[in-house]
Amino acid sequence: MGQFKFNAADIKGVYVVEPTVFGDERGYFMETYSAEEFKEAGLDYNFVQDNQSSSRKGVLRGLHFQKEHPQAKLVRVISGEVFDVAVDLRANSDTYGKWVGVLLSAENKKQLMIPRGFAHGFLVVSDTAEFVYKCDDVYHPEDEGGIMYDSAGIEWPEIDTELVLSEKDLKHPKLSELDFKFNL
């Protein structure tokens, strides 16, 4: 029996992944990744790096991508809740510039599978959140790119605090000014 439900998003290649959770009075158990099951679903990735971040409410990280070393990412939240977003930057895609957003939380245990060719970011909507993700290439800081968080028509959830962005993220170009597209 499969341990995952793979729900195709509105943009080709992006999936909301729901693990099977086994719970009882002691707590719960779940698989968070299975190379075999992901491959059977057409998601054949060789993940080489795991990352984790902790942020407080209102922190918006992104929208990031790597130009010459694009990364596919499998992302999830292990504490708290975030609104996670992927923006299609693939040059030959019918959905170029479109976005997918999903609430990921420790409670719903959903994951978002983002293929190469997307900008990625998230907004913390709970008091704090711990965010973890697998990448199929290592991080190359000299290769980083990004787009401004408010330039792709993303409908970010309203929260009762000011947004907190890094200086770097405040300097990204708008999507309409971006001089880069992925040729994948």
- Please list the active-site residues: 64, 133
Q: How far, in Å, are 80, 120, 147, 174 from residue 153 at the CA level?
A: 25, 14, 12, 11
| Distance, first Cα to last Cα, the chain | 33
Contact 64, 119 (CB under 8 A): yes
The three-state secondary structure class of 142 is helix
State which H helix or E strand residue 123 sits in: strand 118-124
State which H helix or E strand residue 36 sits in: helix 35-40
Q: How far, in Å, are 71, 134, 143, 168 from residue 49 at the CA level?
A: 10, 6, 16, 23
Residue 158 per-residue DSSP state: P
